[in-house]
Structure 1
């Protein structure tokens, strides 16, 4: 195949502009396949529309996978040692089960009573399309239901009741609202060949490795053999960082050399500081927070790491060591909130337990809210990312979106994958999405306004959250579909409703859930739709599986949560639990604190005229204007292809995964990503095309299987490895979180004078 002249750089560093007009010079053969080289190297351009999809095996294995993952993930989400089982586990496990069912189930047809329809328990060999749909089912079960956070903090932390019907409707509506946005924007985010959803290529590679019949090359391995080799190796090795030597998840040598220096540990700690010199010998450190670097395009990795280095090694040190915002009173890196004396902020001082309202008198006598210097700039950069996302998509993708809009009426479609889908299968009628959207919005208003107003959010709050999701789904979808990085609306949602409706913690959380989660759900639905697009799954089958999977998952997440919250005494209250009880609910207290800070204290006392950080609002303007110089330069110097590769939303959000990610996660992620997406891609393109995404899937699967094995056989019974220095899940930098301002006393830290 003749390559385009634009392929001077590795294609992982290409197509950031994604304007079809910019690629007019590509050969017609490439356009007939896909203009994205990674897609051409990974996704087959063939289809067999005769393969059965929604079979008995699909329903049985899909519903079972969805139910098991939903129950297990929610059940263990309340325990001290949390466990999350991803859909890749089900993707691998169901394959031999499906093939056994194809061998042993009877093939005779069964009549459906009351109809003229028949179906067979065994319509033939277990096929790829059944496998994809089962994995989509499992994916619904592996993704948590965000509304469970609200139900938990209401019942446990606020010690208040919530009507079970209101609670389950909150779960359903928040999970289903994203379908509406997915339906509205699928023309732009699915049919367009330039929206290529990089993370799906890992799934496509794994499906092909599991199903394609290959001849083993001389002196080499088939893709399935390579996958199994990687899986077994990853599985065997992960017992070391997961059980025997957890300290290798973050190795910070600077701290070991200067054991008594706060400054040295702030600089060298990979978990609590700047991470200079830190690294890890653990795949979960590399991929757990930022996703697999093997599945992230090269240009996105460069943008992310450049933004990360500027924030962590320029902006934060300047802010901290010039004592901006009294930074030395607090840790250099922390997501906690503090009082003026450097201690953790006591939210009980500012909340009236009787009226469930903000206590102004208590606040005046206590302290304003203070943040670490890193967290201050994290919020500022979050504001900038959202503004930059809108302007970047308008500048770089506005023309394409307009062309796609016209193509909708002209019946023009993109690459070969889109044409095959349009030729072989009926699309999902648009009115399905419209009806679902209207019904869900109506139920959401009923949920918030009804039941005595338990959720505090009025109808206009629901409509405002819906409008915010409508505004941001397309730009966030474009960024995710092209860079594998997804900006979030959680902070901006809390900020908006906090300013407009202060003193209402549950209203704040409900607004965030409808505004933020509906977008993340829409992105998940669209990503799965694109996977079905690549694998040539009938769109109506995809829609049905996603809808049923979401309803099953929402029901089981809610049911499991409600059962535990009403049956386990003192759940989520570690001080009242019996010694050794696992029901400590790690993470839910953070959600509770956020409801207090944003809902009760309100952002006006943080980022408004009554707060310390009002200047952070300038980041909205900075972010909105940031893509403009890049766009102007890319038009003035079109021959300089690298200019259009600067993606400002991704660049500004380089450190956006921190927290919960730490410096060591970024450094390891960037090193692995640059090595595979530049060096290996350039020098060994054939190996990269055949093995890169399968390597990613094998490493992920091995880690997940060993984590489950260790948990269910040892850790659930509190059987841990031998007690030694390396058993601590820590980088042994205890002074990294210490303040350095004179006179501040924190337990375990030296006092400076």
Structure 2
């Protein structure tokens, strides 16, 4: 055993080396080496973070590599790995400590020369030939078959079909509250029988076009084709981000711009989609190639893919012998059936605000514990997986989730202090709402202050009211604006090596066009990917240029009141901020949305125009969101070892189909009676569009100058506070890594910002319990079990509620069949359910806030 005096952090797994070695484990190490199988298994167990290797089916592969590795090579590999992962928060601390101890030499290692030699080469073999991250090892293999068919006719046909279906359904249902979607997990399940049907019934014909040929049916449907088709359909499953914005521009309850027809929607859709595709090619150097870019959010998709199509060896892992495929089917069925209860039969189980129900007319109880008007301080707020999984607790790393949750707890306390002290007149509004109010306590009536072109009428504004926001939304804005500049500075400093390597790689690729991007990376995945041709940078740059040109033409051809130079400016800002945001997302699973930044910039660029602010915000956010979608799928392809050029062609073709399909779905949605109204009978409320409208009203129509100077001046200082705070906090973490290793300040600040947009602690508390259980306890105590089952549990539960939600919507909710009883009515009863009660009544003078003549 390793000595505790040496500083090695032991866990129960490490200490449990006396357990008898099973026959399955002996079979997993079946090659002849200078050490017997039992010794090797004992050393793997002793490591504490390699248990998954024994159940992976590739233990003999590593032992074979171990046998051919010299001590000198092992030392070189581990020296590089320790330097590369020195500030990598996802790199297991036990692995870091063990490598440090091994590199101190045989004398410092108290296990003797033989075991030192074995452990040194075993650790180096893992670093060189696989991933150091257990979560990546659980979904990837250390070997590849480049001859396996990928870009086949049947994969394209099935993928494009589901792009059209998923794109149309997801775009249309997106406007409904609550909405469901054909997620990546759902689409994989639908793609599988299609692929197997094609493999069975398509004729085995071969077609030739010039020097190229392709087989109509190249054999059994394989997991690479499955993943390729899934990546294609993900373009449709992600729906069009512009769809969030088009109702705000077009519908009469918002800006009512009648000129925003199908052609305008199609052009803006093209701009957003293709700019995102082009930008993903630049981002790949930061978030695809580096092994530190783990992308925890995409790992369940890959695990599900392998579960559906790759057979596994039956082994006893912590008493479990059930296969991943069987477990998936059981949990999928259970989730499918159970979701009928919280989604239709007893909706109170979904938003289980039981403390507020006990005192329905008590304001203070509703504010603190409520799930609608309140902050959600409730130890058991939901029994609904769709609510629990909002924060993806079985996907995100434990440190990331807990940082955000602790930040949310602190944010809730601060918000209560703000509200009860009536900061900025917030006590005259509900505490946790995104609705903008006027000085009379009503929702702000924008039509009273805008002309027909959506431009502010100064005299009308002076005669009516300034806009006021809730304490929750005020804190949301302050924390997110702090996070923008903090993240930019902090991530750039902490990941400067990654930025430097990516910049050098981009320069060398332009200078030496035949060089490989993978040459500068030494991890096993990049080495294997050298077998495939890369996508030239100019392919991506073409679509960047194409999108900018279309944006300029569109803004000029329609009465948008938005200068062309605004498109160039917001694109440049979006690209600058997107790189650190994507690095953050790829390592922590936390996505820092920058959509509000575009709102402020739009307000400064075109003061007084809500429509111009809306379009500038849309350009900035669409670029960000679409780029994230494309580049995450490229990382998925990297893990699955798909040819990059095939993936590019698949994404491009899918995008062409998607822009037309989703634009048509938007047009159909526009024709729905009372579309986006909160009285719409089928609940097509367009909830996020209302929030966007609020932001563009506050910072666009009224303008950031009036907002910052007269109403909420602290907001503008948050940008400076964030930038200045990043430097000392980075050096504190660098100075005290032992105590602050797992503190991530950007994610912590992000936790403070969970309020004010319709969400609260109710969506995070149960997830925190599951994160502690799965992502900490089981991952550190039962790694082999965790590696095999965790992502399958998450994927199966999510797929079950998605299919169940589709059935419930089509059968019971599209044409509403109301089930009225206490369990369904309680969620809308009382102060918490009504979501309109304020702490203070309007003063006797008839209004609250600034005195007349002081807000102009």
Given the two structures, how large is their TM-score scaled by the length of structure 1?
A: 0.90
SS of 2:296's equivalent in the other structure is: coil
Any conservation in 1 of the 2:441–2:842 contact (CA below 8 Å)?
no
1:337-357 residue CA offsets vs partner (Å, 9 max, x unmatched): 11123221111221123x532
Any conservation in 1 of the 2:394–2:790 contact (CA below 8 Å)?
yes
Separation (CA, whole Å) in 2 of partners of 1:38 and 1:564? 41
Matches within 5 A, 1:449-528: 449=556, 451=557, 453-528=558-633
Separation (CA, whole Å) in 2 of partners of 1:76 and 1:531? 26
Shift of the alpha carbon at 1:82? 4.1
Is residue 60 from structure 1 mapped to residue 157 from structure 2 by the alignment?
Answer: yes
Instruction: Name 1:211's counterpart in structure 2.
Output: 309
Is residue 144 from structure 1 mapped to residue 239 from structure 2 by the alignment?
Answer: yes
SS of 1:118's equivalent in the other structure is: strand
Is residue 285 from structure 1 mapped to residue 285 from structure 2 by the alignment?
Answer: no
Shift of the alpha carbon at 1:70? 1.1
Instruction: Name 1:379's counterpart in structure 2.
Output: 477
Instruction: Name 1:327's counterpart in structure 2.
Output: 426
Shift of the alpha carbon at 1:455? 2.2
Instruction: Name 1:173's counterpart in structure 2.
Output: 271
Is residue 421 from structure 1 mapped to residue 515 from structure 2 by the alignment?
Answer: no
Is residue 438 from structure 1 mapped to residue 545 from structure 2 by the alignment?
Answer: yes
Aligned residues: 727
Instruction: Name 1:412's counterpart in structure 2.
Output: 520
Instruction: Name 1:699's counterpart in structure 2.
Output: 797
Shift of the alpha carbon at 1:126? 0.3
Instruction: Name 2:635's counterpart in structure 1.
Output: 530
Any conservation in 2 of the 1:303–1:654 contact (CA below 8 Å)?
yes
Is residue 69 from structure 1 mapped to residue 174 from structure 2 by the alignment?
Answer: no
1:157-183 residue CA offsets vs partner (Å, 9 max, x unmatched): 215213544331111011111223221
Separation (CA, whole Å) in 2 of partners of 1:85 and 1:20? 30
Give structure 1 stretches of 5+ with no counterpart.
746-753
Shift of the alpha carbon at 1:225? 0.8
Matches within 5 A, 1:192-211: 192-211=290-309
Is residue 222 from structure 1 mapped to residue 323 from structure 2 by the alignment?
Answer: yes
Deviates more, 1:69-78 or 1:729-738: 729-738
Separation (CA, whole Å) in 1 of partners of 2:824 and 2:578? 44
Matches within 5 A, 1:685-696: 685-696=783-794
Distance 1:720 1:140, change over 3 A: same
Q: Of 18, 24, 48, which residue of structure 1 is paired with 2:88? A: 18
Separation (CA, whole Å) in 2 of partners of 1:693 and 1:164? 41
Is residue 649 from structure 1 mapped to residue 754 from structure 2 by the alignment?
Answer: no
Is residue 559 from structure 1 mapped to residue 664 from structure 2 by the alignment?
Answer: yes
Separation (CA, whole Å) in 2 of partners of 1:124 and 1:510? 49
Shift of the alpha carbon at 1:83? 4.0
Any conservation in 1 of the 2:433–2:758 contact (CA below 8 Å)?
no
Any conservation in 1 of the 2:90–2:587 contact (CA below 8 Å)?
no
1:495-551 residue CA offsets vs partner (Å, 9 max, x unmatched): 012022112222212211221211121111111111000000000011111111122
Shift of the alpha carbon at 1:270? 2.4
Shift of the alpha carbon at 1:461? 0.2
Q: Of 802, 813, 817, which residue of structure 2 is paired with 1:719? A: 817
Is residue 668 from structure 1 mapped to residue 776 from structure 2 by the alignment?
Answer: no
Is residue 317 from structure 1 mapped to residue 416 from structure 2 by the alignment?
Answer: yes
Shift of the alpha carbon at 1:375? 0.8
1:618-675 residue CA offsets vs partner (Å, 9 max, x unmatched): 221222233323321233334x1x4132211111111334323222102122222222
Any conservation in 2 of the 1:271–1:664 contact (CA below 8 Å)?
no
SS of 2:371's equivalent in the other structure is: coil
Q: Of 209, 225, 228, which residue of structure 2 is paired with 1:130? A: 225
Is residue 121 from structure 1 mapped to residue 216 from structure 2 by the alignment?
Answer: yes
Q: Of 368, 389, 406, which residue of structure 1 is paired with 2:466? A: 368
Shift of the alpha carbon at 1:47? 0.8
Separation (CA, whole Å) in 2 of partners of 1:172 and 1:618? 36
Instruction: Name 1:28's counterpart in structure 2.
Output: 124
Q: Name the Cα RMSD after superposition.
A: 2.9
Any conservation in 1 of the 2:410–2:752 contact (CA below 8 Å)?
no
Q: Of 224, 228, 232, which residue of structure 1 is paired with 2:333? A: 232
Instruction: Name 1:544's counterpart in structure 2.
Output: 649
Q: Of 433, 446, 457, which residue of structure 2 is paired with 1:347? A: 446
SS of 2:617's equivalent in the other structure is: helix
Separation (CA, whole Å) in 2 of partners of 1:29 and 1:20? 19
Deviates more, 1:260-269 or 1:593-602: 593-602
Shift of the alpha carbon at 1:720? 3.6
SS of 1:119's equivalent in the other structure is: strand
Shift of the alpha carbon at 1:276? 2.1
Any conservation in 1 of the 2:245–2:689 contact (CA below 8 Å)?
no
Instruction: Name 1:304's counterpart in structure 2.
Output: 404
Separation (CA, whole Å) in 1 of partners of 2:310 and 2:829? 43
Instruction: Name 1:750's counterpart in structure 2.
Output: none
Shift of the alpha carbon at 1:587? 4.4
Distance 1:634 1:29, change over 3 A: farther
SS of 2:207's equivalent in the other structure is: strand
Any conservation in 1 of the 2:339–2:801 contact (CA below 8 Å)?
yes
Separation (CA, whole Å) in 1 of partners of 2:444 and 2:89? 49
Any conservation in 1 of the 2:88–2:292 contact (CA below 8 Å)?
yes
Shift of the alpha carbon at 1:431? 1.2
SS of 1:341's equivalent in the other structure is: coil
Separation (CA, whole Å) in 1 of partners of 2:213 and 2:206? 6
Instruction: Name 2:365's counterpart in structure 1.
Output: 264
Shift of the alpha carbon at 1:92? 0.6
Instruction: Name 2:437's counterpart in structure 1.
Output: 338
Separation (CA, whole Å) in 1 of partners of 2:215 and 2:649? 19
1:448-471 residue CA offsets vs partner (Å, 9 max, x unmatched): 12x2x4222212101101111120
Separation (CA, whole Å) in 1 of partners of 2:842 and 2:554? 51
1:400-444 residue CA offsets vs partner (Å, 9 max, x unmatched): 32244446649321310111012x101111111112211221121
Instruction: Name 2:355's counterpart in structure 1.
Output: 254
Shift of the alpha carbon at 1:562? 2.5
Separation (CA, whole Å) in 2 of partners of 1:459 and 1:228? 53
Separation (CA, whole Å) in 1 of partners of 2:357 and 2:672? 43
Separation (CA, whole Å) in 2 of partners of 1:57 and 1:2? 54
Distance 1:672 1:570, change over 3 A: closer
